[in-house]
Amino acid sequence: MQRLLTGLQPSGVLHIGNYLGALKPFSEMYSQYESFLMVADYHALTSLRDPEALRANIRDIVRSYVAAGVDPKKAVIFQQSRVQEHTELAWIFECLVTVPFLELSHAYKDKVAKGLEANAGLFNYPMLMAADILLYDTDVVPVGADQRQHLEYAREAAAKFNNSYGDVLKEPQAKILESVAVVPGTDGKKMSKSYGNTIPLYEPKDVLVKAVMSIVTDSSGELPQNVYEIHKHFKSKKELDALYESNKGKYKVLKEALIDDIEKIVAPMREIYESITDADVERILKEGSDRAREYAAAKMKAVRSSIGVTI
Ligand code: ADP
Ligand code: TRP
């Protein structure tokens, strides 16, 4: 069986874009692989400095994946910071790559271009992600198209290491989830927590209602484009066109229909989500991280021996 690993940063509350773009595809494919699902909490530290929020977001990710159908007995669900080998291997990669090489990172360049101060963690982000992947002899890494460059960094890190020290690390394949279109947010731009335009995934229904009602509608046309573009992820085109045709100009009715259609999918999952206690989350993360550590420790043993720190 091939090994699959993916990760999600606990940097905010998950939204329906995350569900359609990451949780759903993962829950549909993970059982065909030996799967590892990592909560990338040390990556989130590059942008989040609020301990309470971080704690809540970590739990949110675990609950969200389980509610979306991922069985913690079939996938190793673990927390990055509990497996110290990740930061250890990242350091070794940082000593192998050059500053100009890391300066090519889109995430880093974007921050600098916006005039923001990039912390050194953000600069080194791709090397921590390379460690995440390479510690587990990962074959496939399912990610969105925006992560393509990070995968290239991981492959480069493996190649550079193997060139210097011999064949220890396996170069992974990206599995870009292209089929999933970008879900727009309430303002028509890509739905993203950093734009404050999200429709939350498992928040109580009144929060969902409020978010949908806030979708910006442009009064010039008869079709509320922003509502329609989100709606099309929840209904077939035929049904959707009939609905919008028979309710021309009735924005409120159409928004209510969208709420119903999101609710149909989300309500059963929300019930599972709410039934998962903090103790359940702790048990899942402890068991998963213990298992992950076994693999990571074995790989680090080989890495340490090959670089010459074991005497
Ligand atoms: P955000 O943009 O809210 O910060 P992340 O970058 O943390 O989201 O994305 C986590 C996962 O969710 C990634 O796999 C990403 O491809 C997916 N994703 C995020 N936003 C969307 C969206 N609007 N449409 C589809 N997939 C998305
Ligand atoms: N950088 C990824 C993102 O922002 C999250 C991530 C961290 C990841 N480590 C990973 C994804 C390892 C896949 C594999 O979405």
For the chain, domains (ranges, CATH) are: 3-181+278-307 (3.40.50.620), 193-273 (1.10.240.10)
Report which protein residue has its CA nearest ligand 1's atom 6.
192
Per-residue pLDDT tens over the stretch 114-153? 998 899 999 999 999 999 999 999 999 998 888 999 999 9
What lies within 8 Å, CB to CB, of 231 at 6+ separation is 240, 254, 257, 258, 261
Both structure tokens of 244: 């919008």
Q: Please tell me the predicted confidence (pLDDT) of residue 49.
A: 96
Per-residue pLDDT tens over the stretch 238-279? 999 999 999 988 999 999 999 999 999 999 999 999 999 999
Q: Please tell me the predicted confidence (pLDDT) of residue 179.
A: 58
- What is the spatial distance between Cα 139 and Cα 1, in angstroms, rounded to a whole number? 10
Query: How far is the centre of ligand 1, averaged over its atoms, from the C-alpha of 229 (Å)?
Result: 16
Q: Return phi, psi of residue 37, to 5°.
A: -120, 115
Mean pLDDT, residues 183-190 taken together? 94
Confidence of residue 206 (pLDDT cuts 50, 70, 90): very high
Q: Please tell me the predicted confidence (pLDDT) of residue 219.
A: 62
Residues found in the chain:
311
Which one of 11, 29, 30, 43 would you pick to mutate in the ligand 2 pocket, going by the greatest count of ligand atoms within 8 A of its CB?
A: 43
Residue 15 forms beta bridges with which residues? 200
For residues 184-209, one letter each, b for 16 or more C-beta atoms within 10 angstroms of the residue's C-beta and e for the rest, the string is bbbeeeebbbeeebbbbbbbeeeebe
Nearest of 38, 57, 39, 59 to residue 48 by alpha carbon: 57
pLDDT for residue 181 is more than 80? no
Report which protein residue has its CA nearest ligand 2's atom 13.
6
Counting ligands in written order, which one lies closest to the CA of residue 145? 1
308 conformational bin, left if phi > 0, alpha if psi -120 to 50, beta if neither? left
* pTM over cut 0.85: yes
For ligand 2, residues with CB inside 6 Å are: 5-9, 40, 43, 129, 132-133, 141, 143, 147, 150
- What is the spatial distance between Cα 224 and Cα 222, in angstroms, rounded to a whole number? 6
Query: How far is the centre of ligand 2, averaged over its atoms, from the C-alpha of 128 (Å)?
Result: 9
- What is the spatial distance between Cα 241 and Cα 237, in angstroms, rounded to a whole number? 6
